Structure 1
Amino acid sequence: MLSFNAGLRVHLALGATDMRKGFDGLAAQVQTVLQADPFSGHLFLFRGKRGDLLKALWWDGQGLVLLAKRLEKGRFIWPTIAREGVVMLTTAQLAMLLEGLDWRTPTPSWKPEIAV
């Protein structure tokens, strides 16, 4: 089971990321594009072009952990800034993001179907 401490720093990598990248490719992107240390214990989040796939890279003290989540409905809400860089999130905003909610204003990114 994963457990993150309350002081966890969450970084969103702006722009679209090639979702074929694994441990080494994402760690290199953290170092070169985000100018950060992938072994810092911070959580780094990456999103693909379509917006339904999210990858997270995290150093747990023993090794790198690579997590992936794909939404069946909706999209992960990402800042609409045209440049590359990073945005910091709180753990509460991270929880909303992982559920497919707009972390800026908590609304779903998809409308549930109403059964009649």
Structure 2
Amino acid sequence: MFAPGNLARIWLCTQPTDMRKSFQGLSALVKNQLNHNPLSGQYFVFVNRRKTQMKVLYFEPSGYCLWSKRLEQGQFRVSASASGQRPLSWTDLQLILDGIEVQKIRQYKRYQHSI
């Protein structure tokens, strides 16, 4: 399991993605469809049409990394967005990977140090 830091920016592509794509194809999707720089160090999450496969593309100083997961049963619970992308927190990504769907969210205020 890969573990991005809590401050890592994670983007979910809400449109279905062809899972035959690898480094070149996914980085082109990031640049052309999501309008982000694939070399930025952010994490980009892609899910196929049947929602049974997920790929995460990110760039480290030494090169691209591609993490993949295929479910034997069930589906990843991701909702569509009009813009085609939505930001995720590390916790949100963990919930999607573990198959946990939160019905009601209530987040209490916490101190957050400004950068």
TM-score by length of 2: 0.82
How many aligned positions are there?
A: 105
Alignment partner, residue 99 of structure 1: 98
1:3 Cα deviation after fit: 3.7
Alignment partner, residue 111 of structure 2: none
Structure 1: give runs of 5+ residues left out of the alignment.
Answer: 107-116
1:77 Cα deviation after fit: 1.1
Q: Residue 28 of structure 1 aligns to a residue in which SS?
A: helix
Q: Residue 101 of structure 2 aligns to a residue in which SS?
A: coil
1:80 Cα deviation after fit: 2.8
What's the C-alpha RMSD, in Å, of the aligned pairs?
A: 1.9
Q: Please give the per-residue CA displacement for 1:73-97, whole angstroms capped at 9, x wherever unaligned.
A: 211111133x452100111111111
Task: Report if the CA contact (8 A) 2:51-2:75 is conserved.
Answer: yes
Q: Please give the per-residue CA displacement for 1:36-62, whole angstroms capped at 9, x wherever unaligned.
A: 011111110000011010011011221
Rounded to whole Å, the distance in 1 between the matches of 2:19 and 2:102 is: 22
Aligned-pair identity in percent equals 33
1:13-32 correspondence runs (5 A): 13-32=13-32
Q: Residue 54 of structure 1 aligns to a residue in which SS?
A: strand
TM-score by length of 1: 0.81
Task: Report if the CA contact (8 A) 1:18-1:48 is conserved.
Answer: yes
Sort the Cα spacing of 1:42 and 1:105 in 2 relative to 1 into closer, same or farther, 3 A. farther
Alignment partner, residue 108 of structure 2: none
Task: Report if the CA contact (8 A) 2:11-2:43 is conserved.
Answer: yes
Q: Residue 31 of structure 2 aligns to a residue in which SS?
A: helix
Q: Does 1:74 align with 2:74?
A: yes
Rounded to whole Å, the distance in 2 between the matches of 1:11 and 1:104 is: 21
